[in-house]
A and B are shown apart, each in its own frame.
Chain A
Amino acid sequence: MSPIRSPEGTPASPGGVNRTGKASPAAAVKDAALAALVAFGLFAMMVGLRTEIGPEGALVLRQRWGDVAILCLLVFLGRLVLSLWLGRRRIAASTAPGRWTARLQQAGRLFAPAMLAVALTLPAITQGDRYLLDLGILVLTYVMLGWGLNIVVGLAGLLDLGYVAFYGIGAYAYALLATEFGFSFWLGLPVAGILAAFWGVLLGFPVLRLRGDYLAIVTLAFGEIIRVVLLNWVSLTGGPDGISGIPRPSFFGLPFTMSGGEGSFAGTFGLEPSPSHRVIFLYYLILGLALLTNWVTIRLRRQPLGRAWEALREDEIACRALGINVTITKLSAFAIGAMFGGFAGAFFATRQAFISPESFTFIESAIILAIVVLGGLGSQVGVAIAALVMIGGFEIFRDLGEYRMLVFGGAMVVIMVLRPRGLVGTRTPSIALGQKRAISGELVGEGHG
């Protein structure tokens, strides 16, 4: 016997795996018998013996040894199959991404352009189907929010549980500017983004020293504070009644009116007035905003600022030793992430024409964070897929009623078990001398604040 045992050869693990990676049947049978013995020890008490109330009211011990035998046999067979099947897999030490990851990545290269093509042509594909376009708008809003939060959580590694606050600030900023001061959408949008970024910096200052769980708690509190302020500052925000009558967007000054007269969108372009024009316009608007978020993120990742964010996520102390101003770098991540949240909020306000604090509850933050985590921290494609699956999937299961929460939770658990680092768990280097090779998620830091 070789004194060296592979880590898989320990008795507790799938038995019979020797160093060449082949399972020997005898060892597998022995291992399965052992498992069956353990199962017998457990099931003999739990299943084999059962107390029941007898006909005279006294306790009677009922024995069910047949059931125990079936259970033990199932455990035996299951364990046997498992160890023979797992035993065939070769165990190799490697930090390279796994086989599935590499395949997913190849698929991903085609997948992203394909998704973009579908997104661009969706109004044509659906032929103006109102329901599907509305769903598309909803999904894209979450894609944009996910990409925005990805800057803070995925790149800079700052766990932010209050991202919805910036979404809310953007929405209220635009709603108030438009209803009180008559700002147009294209003027209100950047102002809403800048205001959200300003609040991002304001939140950033006190929490700079905090890390990990503490940062998460404070950002969570910030999100709640903003919501409570919106709810209670009745003179400004209308409190629980919200703000209604927010101007709908116009096509660069041409309103979408049903009359189709002179100066309206339909009239100017000589089209039949249709309510779907506005929906299609809104769809392309959010698509454009989401792509802007994506473009800026991709550009920034290849810039010193983006690299500093990722370095910050990997090791903050090393960053300081290299002369990187950690304060400014963290604040810039907060501000830019918040700005895109603010843009999305302004879009939300103009689309709904009505906003109230109810739209900005903690569950929204949780959903956005779940999208980022499920998609894979730092991965743009992953976040887009996760948003599609989570928001779109939630709609598909609408018929299940109460049970869809269950399906939803189950799906999340399954994904996290199969792919613990998210759908796209690898990191693509921002620059390479030769070919860019994906970096396995195990090496990449998850961020601790």
Chain B
Amino acid sequence: MPLQVLLQVQDVTMRFGGLTAVDRVSFAAAQGQITALIGPNGAGKTTLFNCITGFYRPSEGAILLHPPQRGPGAAPVALHRLAGHRIARAGVARTFQNIRLFPGMTALENLLVAQHNALMATTGWGIGAVLGLSRYPAAERAAVEKAKQWLHATQLLERADDPAGALPYGAQRRLEIARAMCTSPDGPALLCLDEPAAGLNPRESEELARLLLAIREAGTSILLIEHDMGVVMRISDRVVVLDHGQRIADAAPAEVRADPKVIAAYLGEEEVA
């Protein structure tokens, strides 16, 4: 089966004043795959992530999304030109390295906020909903069902009414993934995870890997920044390696593991010619 490209990163450069954090990086993430983005600390992974998810506007280059529902011939969405909040609507959801839940809201509320755009569309600019004259109640029931489904998938159903800030760390990580998955009606086209396994114990990492594989089976492609090489090597279909803002490898996990340049970057040796 030929792989269809979902996300295309073309010569993206990101400069902060004199510092070039990302230097002409190109890679492609394929539809239905888990693509991992790895590299030593300060390699520019999170900066690239922020460019893809619209938190930074790249200094140069293009980021194109080919949403699968648009069909193969359709024009891609230029993510680098979209306003921050439109990127989620285009089908790119993300989580954060330092968890960014709404701590004072319950787990269920967190998942309902994620469905804001779909729900807002049914309220008639909010006026109809205040007067009780809209399709809103039915839409809210559907949204709660969807939230329950994701709470179940992340084993958080019993804690649905607990404030997100009171959940254990691992549960907060799972809830953030569930929240990202609720942003599009049929699940986002691309889920960007920034170090989802950070701070998890081995059993939780194992559960996370299973959850990510299940998400991939459900049709959402994943772009993953991760330091836990066990998780990366087990679940990734492709690995892109960054070092000092440049792409130094882009291959299958086994190949990357044997690549001398990658080993040099990680162990800090002189680069092998």
Contacts and interface: CB of A to CB of B under 8 A. Distances in A.
Contacts of A321: 53, 55, 84, 88, 93-94, 96, 100, 180
A435 B160 CA distance: 11
Interface stretch (B10-18, B31-39, B116-124): B116-124
A107 interface: no
Contacts of A300: 126, 130
A444 B136 contact: no
A314 B84 CA distance: 18
A434 B161 contact: yes
Contacts of A311: 102, 105, 113, 116
B85 interface: yes
B113 A324 contact: yes
A296 B161 contact: no
B240 interface: no
B108 A317 contact: no
Contact of A325 (B85, B105, B126): B85
A315 interface: yes
A433 B136 contact: no
A248 interface: no
B105 A429 contact: yes
Given A303-B136, A304-B123, A433-B161, A322 B114 contact: yes
Contacts of B140: 431
B173 interface: no
Nearest to A442: B165
Contact of B100 (A307, A317, A326, A439): A317
Interface in A310-369: 310-311, 314-315, 317-326, 332
Given A303-B136, A431-B108, A318 B161 contact: no
A427 interface: yes
A221 B93 CA distance: 39
Contacts of A299: 129-130
Contacts, number: 137
Interface string B84-118: 11111100011010001111111011001111110
A444 B104 contact: yes
B85 A323 contact: yes
Contact of B183 (A310, A315, A322): A322
B117 A324 contact: yes
A429 B103 contact: no
B228 to A, nearest CB: 23
Contact of B101 (A307, A315, A432, A435): A315
A443 B116 contact: no
B73 to A, nearest CB: 26
Contacts of B129: 299, 303-304
A320 B84 CA distance: 6
B152 to A, nearest CB: 11
Contacts of A319: 85, 113
Interface centre among A332, A433, A444 (most CB of B within 10 A): A433
B104 to A, nearest CB: 3
Contact of A307 (B112, B130, B136): B112
Contacts of B130: 296, 299-300, 303
A436 interface: yes
B110 to A, nearest CB: 8
Contacts of A429: 105-106, 108-109, 161
Interface in B140-179: 140, 144, 148, 160-163, 165-166, 179
A296 B131 CA distance: 9
A273 interface: no
A147 to B, nearest CB: 15
Given A303-B136, A318-B96, A322-B114, A433 B119 contact: no
B104 A322 contact: no
A426 to B, nearest CB: 10
Kindly state the interface size class of chain A when it binds its partner. 35 or more
Contacts of B183: 322-323
Contacts of B103: 314, 443-445
A324 B112 CA distance: 12
Contact of A304 (B88, B93, B116): B116
Interface string B228-270: 0000000000000000000000000000000000000000000
Contact of A326 (B85, B93, B115, B126): B85
B95 to A, nearest CB: 8
Contacts of A436: 161
A178 interface: no
Nearest to B104: A444
A305 B166 contact: no
Contacts of B179: 322
Given A305-B123, A318-B100, A433 B165 contact: no
A433 B161 CA distance: 7
A299 B127 CA distance: 10
A296 to B, nearest CB: 6
Contacts of B100: 315, 317-318, 321
A318 B123 CA distance: 23
A2 interface: no
Interface string A169-199: 0000000000000000000000000000000
Interface in A284-313: 296, 299-300, 303-305, 307-308, 310-311
Nearest to A427: B104
Given A307-B113, A322-B179, A433 B126 contact: no
Interface centre among B113, B130, B148 (most CB of A within 10 A): B113
Contact of B109 (A307, A434, A435): A307
A300 B125 CA distance: 11
Contact of B85 (A296, A303, A320, A332): A320
A95 B166 contact: yes
Contact of B105 (A304, A310, A326, A435): A310
A320 B82 CA distance: 12
B119 to A, nearest CB: 4
Given A308-B113, A323-B88, A443-B163, 13 more contacts: A305-B126, A307-B113, A311-B102, A311-B113, A314-B104, A315-B100, A318-B100, A320-B84, A427-B104, A429-B161, A431-B108, A443-B103, A444-B104
Interface of A: 95, 296, 299-300, 303-305, 307-308, 310-311, 314-315, 317-326, 332, 427, 429-437, 439-440, 443-445
8 contacts: A95-B165, A95-B166, A304-B129, A311-B102, A314-B103, A318-B101, A431-B144, A443-B165
Closest 9 CB pairs of A and B: A323-B88, A444-B104, A314-B102, A443-B165, A304-B119, A318-B100, A95-B166, A311-B113, A439-B163
